[in-house]
Amino acid sequence: MQAFTTLDGIVAPMDRANVDTDAIIPKQFLKSIRRSGYGPFLFDEWRYEDRGEPEMDCSKRPKRADFVLNQPRYQGAQILLARENFGCGSSREHAPWAILDYGFSCVIAPSFADIFYNNCFKNGILPIVLDANTVDDLFRDCFAQEGYRLSVDLQAQTVTTPDGQILHFEVDAFRKHCLLNGLDDIALTLADADAIRAYEARRQQEAAWLF
């Protein structure tokens, strides 16, 4: 998993509450367990005029001109600004996979669905919770200013606006450590590989019949 330390990026505003995981990545794309290749299908039903299917060439599909990710001003965005209860619905891990594969590595919202929130950390995405009034201000400024950017510093736990305002956010210390060091569940386990091997060798001596 790629480490997250700092990010200075364009913001794309997803001005809808209760965005569920089926909207983020529709169910027909859940057949694969690969973690890559979902970016072109992010928000598929809102982004395109036709129905998407796995392995489609999205470059030739008709797009909805009014959808935020299809607007030129938000191309290359790395920070997704969202409304309350983002990522609700089913627990599919494909949702953060699609968000990350598209190019977003940070999502800011007043609240997240719990499972989606946890899955973000496990896949190298930083979900930031800010109060609703602050998020309202960010939406207003993002709509008003083309190329609107935010700077995120995970170590300092801050979001800095273009006018220099510093917004502080909370994050669990263990999750922060994992993101800063690029540690997913597998990497955390491998960090104790020597201890695991020593335990297995000892158990083989103590209880040989188990082996």
Q: Could you list the pLDDT tens digit for every one of the 211 residues in the chain?
A: 899 999 999 999 999 999 999 999 999 998 877 878 999 999 999 999 999 999 899 999 999 999 999 999 999 999 999 999 999 999 899 999 999 999 999 999 999 999 999 999 999 999 999 999 999 999 999 999 999 999 999 999 999 999 999 999 999 999 999 999 998 877 777 776 777 787 787 888 888 887 7
Query: Taking the CA of residue 82 as centre, how many other CA atoms within 13 Å lie in the half-sphere pointing to its CB?
Result: 27
**What confidence score (pLDDT) does residue 202 get?**
85
Two structure tokens written together for 198? 């020593």
Give domain status of residue 62, yes or no.
yes
State the Cα–Cα distance between residues 83 and 59, nearest whole angstrom.
29
**Domain limits for position 81:** 6-184
> How many residues are present in the chain?
211
Do the Cβ atoms of 54 and 79 come closer than 8 Å? no
Give domain status of residue 207, yes or no.
no
Give domain status of residue 77, yes or no.
yes
Give, rounded to a whole angstrom, the gap between the first and last alpha carbons of the chain.
Answer: 33
For residue 69, which of 42, 94, 96, 49 has the smallest C-alpha distance?
42
**What confidence score (pLDDT) does residue 4 get?**
97
Give domain status of residue 163, yes or no.
yes
For residue 2, which of 116, 113, 78 has the smallest C-alpha distance?
78
Please give the model's pTM, rounded to 2 decimal places.
Answer: 0.90
User: 168 has which bridge partners?
Assistant: 158
Give domain status of residue 208, yes or no.
no
**What confidence score (pLDDT) does residue 83 get?**
98
Two structure tokens written together for 197? 């091997």
**What confidence score (pLDDT) does residue 188 get?**
74
Do the Cβ atoms of 54 and 31 come closer than 8 Å? yes
CATH at residue 129: 3.20.19.10
Give domain status of residue 172, yes or no.
yes
Give domain status of residue 190, yes or no.
no
Q: Into how many domains does the chain fold? A: 1
List Cβ neighbours of 187 (8 Å cut-off, separation of 6 or more).
Answer: 1
Give domain status of residue 193, yes or no.
no
